[in-house]
């Protein structure tokens, strides 16, 4: 049974870090409702949900993907690029230990946000951003090369994280909203999407993706390609440069 690591949103969510967009009001109650609907999508499909201990003092704690990335049966615990997020790591590590998931760690001076990591087959694209530095990328490469993964660093300057700009469909096609992608030519197969919030999908299985409900034209584009598309509202998280990928960590091994 696949497992899902999540953490409930903090009441301080509206104070989260912002880099590329202007701050607008965030409704914490609506965010909690949207988060519960997001998690229910997985529960309805048989996923086992693992709740990481609440960290209400950390406004960005709900974005758990930034703190840990799964590679098969091993987790890489990151070292977030924002100082305000480093305190999230301890409870994430505890959750991994309780779930029996082995892990390795990105160490100082490296920084790595999980939102900068996109896996396609055995290739790992990693964004060079304000949150992920070259040392962090090299540490990740050292952890993964012996396990048969190839790490490819790519430039990211227009959005917070790599996966704020691109993700991948089940067949490996990279998707993105071209005005927010530094260099689409980096990817062997790239498909432009018509809406900014259509850039992010979570692959639930070989024929199904989960995405924001705020990109109906993109959802139809994917359906026309033969995919089942499940949509869910995440407006309060999108106001904080979040998307469907960063609200959970999927453990498939």
So which residues are the catalytic ones? 161, 246
Q: Return the exposure string of 32-54: e unless at least 16 CB atoms fall within 10 Å of the residue's CB, then b.
A: bebbeebbebbeeeebeebebee
**Which residues of 78-131 form beta strands (DSSP E)?**
103-105, 117-120, 123-128
Q: Is the peptide bond before 170 cis (omega within 30 degrees of 0)?
A: no
If we measure between CA atoms, which residue out of 133, 151, 139, 165 comes closest to residue 241?
165
Structure tokens given for 78:
């990151």
If we measure between CA atoms, which residue out of 159, 219, 31, 181 comes closest to residue 211?
219
Exposed/middle/buried for residue 58 (C-beta within 10 Å: 0-12, 13-18, 19+): buried
d(CA 174, CA 190): 5
Phi/psi for 90 (5° steps) reads -60, -45
DSSP H or E run through 206: none
- Residue 112 DSSP symbol: B
Instruction: Report the chain's terminal Cα–Cα distance, integer Å.
Output: 9
């Amino acid at each position: 049974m696949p497992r899902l690591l999540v953490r409930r949103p903090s009441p301080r969510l509206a104070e989260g870090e912002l880099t590329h967009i202007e701050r607008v009001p965030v409704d914490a109650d609506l965010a909690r409702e949207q988060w519960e609907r997001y998690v229910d999508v997985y529960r309805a499909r048989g996923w086992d949900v693992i709740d990481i201990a609440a960290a209400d003092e950390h406004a960005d704690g709900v974005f758990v993907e930034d703190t840990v990335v799964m590679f098969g049966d091993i987790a890489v615990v990151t070292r977030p690029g924002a100082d305000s997020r480093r305190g999230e790591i301890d409870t994430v590590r505890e959750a991994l230990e309780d779930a029996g998931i082995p892990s390795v760690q990105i160490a100082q001076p490296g920084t790595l946000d999980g939102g900068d990591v996109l896996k396609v087959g055995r290739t790992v694209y990693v964004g060079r951003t304000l949150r992920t530095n070259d040392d962090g990328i090299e540490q990740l490469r050292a952890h993964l090369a012996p396990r048969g993964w190839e790490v490819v660093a790519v430039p990211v300057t227009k959005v917070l994280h790599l996966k704020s700009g691109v993700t991948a469909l089940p067949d490996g096609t990279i998707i993105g909203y071209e005005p927010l992608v530094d260099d689409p030519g980096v990817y062997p197969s790239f498909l432009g999407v018509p809406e900014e919030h259509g850039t992010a999908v979570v692959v639930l299985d070989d024929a199904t993706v989960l995405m924001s409900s705020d990109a109906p034209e993109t959802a139809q584009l994917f359906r026309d390609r033969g995919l089942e598309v499940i949509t869910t509202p995440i407006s309060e998280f999108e106001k904080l440069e979040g998307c469907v990928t960063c609200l959970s960590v999927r453990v498939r091994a």
